[in-house]
Amino acid sequence: MEAIFLAGGFGTRLKPLTYTRAKPLLPILNKPMILYLIDSLPSEVDRVILAVNYKKEQIEKCFSKYDCGREIIINEEPEPLGTGGAVKFAEKYLGDRFFVLNSDIISSINLQDMIRFHERNKATATISLWPVDNVSEFGVAEVGEDGRITGFVEKPKPEDAPSNLINAGAYLLESEVLDYIETGRLVSMEKEIFPQIISNTGRFYGYKFEGYWIDIGRIKSYLYVNQFLLKEKGLDKIIGEDSNVKGDIVNSILGRNVNVGRNTVIKSSVIFDNVSIDDNVTIENSVIGENCRIKENVYINNAVIGDNETIMDGYEIIDTTIWTQPIPEGYPKKQIGNVIGE
């Protein structure tokens, strides 16, 4: 059985961290995000297809170092193809049934149980569903008592919403779904293909699950998922190998080879590899990219520092992003494709 991970986006809402790395490689508790997702796959999945476009070489390098116990195929798209186009482009690797998964969602979903639900209903397509408080921000599913989805209502008023359940970004599809997708263009599975399956087959189901669901779409949610999983593990901090810490680390994750000076305090933050932080520094609710140098008496709060930046003595950096280098050629000014839930 196969699983396709949609990993071709630029991650524009996570810049400047994604100026220099593929979004699926963002570290969560010092482990590339994509590896969390692969570890969550049921044993039936023996082939993983990564639909990639941006920074393919980085992803290849990552998987040359990690043995995931499954065949890994890195399927480079000639251009961003959207959720549907990426699936069609991987058609030659697919069997009778396969998962399609977003590479930026960390959740408690039990994919083995989702397979059983799909089989029990003889479904053509099953998608994961997650309850939300504010239905007006999402496409909301119309779901029958048997779990059958009959449609979606886009960003309804609360009083008009057919449910509080949204598309949670995990799909289990029969191969016949491929016949609905045109070749060689950007296709939205959610907007173009799902309505056709609902209309033509009547066998489109929603699998509801409980626990947690975190869309790593923005810096705020990236920080949150690290904090959440740290707490889930019962830890106050993680400090990577070859790090030297003389200050206080609270509710934070430090990568490898991080040096922290005296009287420095790091709270609720993520520090990437090879960072040097001098004495008398305070960092709160922030992300510090690889190879950064933070000099003495600096205060950083609610900020993101891109890779390879130096912050000079005495600076205050609050509610902002630091990136002083050229923006990579071809990096888009806004998001390409569609967001889950829309």
CATH number at residue 133: 3.90.550.10
Is 333 in the active site? Answer: no
Per-residue pLDDT reduced to its tens digit, 157-188: 888 888 999 889 999 999 999 999 998 888 98
Residue 42 tokens read as: 């049921």
The predicted pLDDT at position 155 comes to 81
Per-residue pLDDT reduced to its tens digit, 243-267: 999 999 999 999 999 999 999 999 9
Per-residue pLDDT reduced to its tens digit, 125-169: 999 999 998 888 888 899 998 999 998 887 888 888 889 998 899
**Shared domain check, 159 and 307:** no
**Shared domain check, 170 and 272:** no
pLDDT at 24 over 90: yes
Domain residue limits at 281: 236-322
Model confidence band, residue 277 (pLDDT cutoffs 50, 70, 90): very high
Q: How high does pLDDT run on average in the chain? A: 92
The arithmetic mean of pLDDT across residues 301-309, rounded, is 97
Say if 33 falls within a structural domain. yes
Strand order in the sheet with 237-239: 237-239, 252-254, 270-271, 287-288, 304-305, 321-322
**Shared domain check, 312 and 188:** no
H helix or E strand, kind and range, residue 37: helix 33-39
Model confidence band, residue 64 (pLDDT cutoffs 50, 70, 90): confident
Q: What percent of the chain has pLDDT over 70?
A: 97
Say if 10 falls within a structural domain. yes
Per-residue pLDDT reduced to its tens digit, 188-202: 888 899 999 999 999
**Shared domain check, 167 and 117:** yes
CATH number at residue 252: 2.160.10.10
**Shared domain check, 307 and 189:** no
Residue 124 tokens read as: 């053509």
**Shared domain check, 276 and 133:** no
The predicted pLDDT at position 335 comes to 56
Model confidence band, residue 81 (pLDDT cutoffs 50, 70, 90): confident
Q: What radius of gyration, in Å, describes the C-alpha atoms of the chain?
A: 21
Q: How far apart are the first and last CA of the chain?
A: 28
pLDDT at 69 over 90: no
Residue 176 tokens read as: 């016949």
* 340 vs 199, residue with greater confidence: 199
Say if 342 falls within a structural domain. no
pTM: 0.90
- Tokens 């997708």 found at: 181
- Asked whether 335 and 12 are in contact (CB, 8 A), the reply is yes
Say if 223 falls within a structural domain. no
Residue 303 tokens read as: 């900020």
- Tokens 């149980």 found at: 113
Half-sphere exposure of 69 (CA within 13 A, CB side): 9
pLDDT at 342 over 70: no
The domain tally of the chain equals 2
Q: One of 55, 88, 92, 155 is an active-site residue; which one? A: 155
- Asked whether 341 and 52 are in contact (CB, 8 A), the reply is no
**Shared domain check, 178 and 91:** yes
**Shared domain check, 38 and 154:** yes
Q: Which of 308, 292, 144, 123 is nearest to 300 (CA)?
A: 292
H helix or E strand, kind and range, residue 28: strand 27-28
Q: What percent of the chain has pLDDT over 90?
A: 76
The predicted pLDDT at position 334 comes to 67
